[in-house]
Amino acid sequence: MSDCAPAGVSHVSDTALWVAVYRAMETERPDAIFRDPHARRLAGERGEAIVRSMPKGRAWAWPMIVRTAVMDEIILRCVGQGVRTVVNLAAGLDARAYRLELPPALRWLHVDFPDMIAYVQDALAGERARCDLQYVAADVTDRTQLDRLLRQGAAAGPVLVVSEGLLIYLSAEQVGELAGALASVPAVRSWLIDLGSPMLLKMMARQWGAKVAQGNAPFRFAPAEGTAFFTPHGWREAEFRSTWSESLRLKRTVPLAWLWQFLGRFQPRARKEAMRRMSGVVLLERRGSA
């Protein structure tokens, strides 16, 4: 996070700076679909340098903006339906606890590496969270640390776990381990993720693969079976929000989206469904839940 760091991604945590720039870009629009008044400060010059270093870095803001907006909607709905604790894994520079209209009694655990937490706390010193925000330093790929964290989170359930932008950087084995750990805690009722397909992974690898790999943050997880990957680990798909469909709804999409929509009408049904599910926000719930 140092000003002396190279312009590109040098650690997986740098991806949070990258995405924060996109939230700042959206916030500064007069017709913004969400507002994150802290994003520009959190991203800093380093975030801007990372975006400049990425091929078409600013042009590809739209999927991240859509992801943020859709997750905002789902989090607020889940909280309104009775979630008492949100466990935000690998939270990065997420300022939802400061910017969303959340009940003061809601517990929000902001979980990340110690250096990232120190950076956020310093940047947001003097700001007041909307809820009971607690920062927790933990490596979510370490099972001992994860189990300790989940015991802390389960103290006041029901619990919603959020892992925005995390899974793509993990191996399938690590994701399976995480899924099983979450499912082992009865208070954890739902899990909000973003998920891509192998098709998307190939596109991202062509566009940015070399850049993120040099920072030891390669794109890894995009299961061919989609959300069925999570079934043997105790989870089932409750809701899938296609990034493409939501981009059209929110009017944050690619140039000439209308043309792609028109051409898509002539695709076989299976191909259209594959395209629709190429990327999305997914709400998982425990198997056996009503």
Q: What is the per-residue pLDDT across 187-201, written as a single tens digit (0 to 9) for each? A: 999 999 999 999 988
Q: How far apart are CA 99 and CA 106, in angstroms?
A: 14
Q: In whole angstroms, how large is the CA radius of gyration of the chain?
A: 18
In this predicted structure, the answer to whether residue 57 has a pLDDT above a threshold of 70 is: yes
- Average the pLDDT over 67-74 and give the result: 98
Show the tokens assigned to 251.
């009017």
Model pLDDT, residue 2: 45
- Average the pLDDT over 1-16 and give the result: 64
The CATH superfamily holding the domain 14-286 is Vaccinia Virus protein VP39 (3.40.50.150)
282: closest CA among 191, 210, 188, 218? 191
Domain residue spans of the chain: 14-286
Q: Are 34 and 68 in contact (CB under 8 A)?
A: yes
| Torsion over CA: 246, 252, 255, 256 (sign) | positive
Q: How far apart are CA 93 and CA 137, in angstroms?
A: 14
Residue 158: asked if its preceding bond is cis (omega within 30°), the reply is yes
Q: Which residue has the higher pLDDT, 289 or 68?
A: 68
- Average the pLDDT over 261-272 and give the result: 78
In this predicted structure, the answer to whether residue 260 has a pLDDT above a threshold of 80 is: no
Q: Which residue has the higher pLDDT, 6 or 185?
A: 185
- Average the pLDDT over 242-270 and give the result: 84
Model pLDDT, residue 72: 98
Quick check: helix, strand or coil at residue 190?
strand
258 burial via Cβ count (<10 Å: 0-12, 13-18, 19+): exposed
In this predicted structure, the answer to whether residue 160 has a pLDDT above a threshold of 60 is: yes
pLDDT of 210-233, one tens digit each? 666 666 678 899 999 999 999 999
Model pLDDT, residue 215: 63
Model pLDDT, residue 214: 67
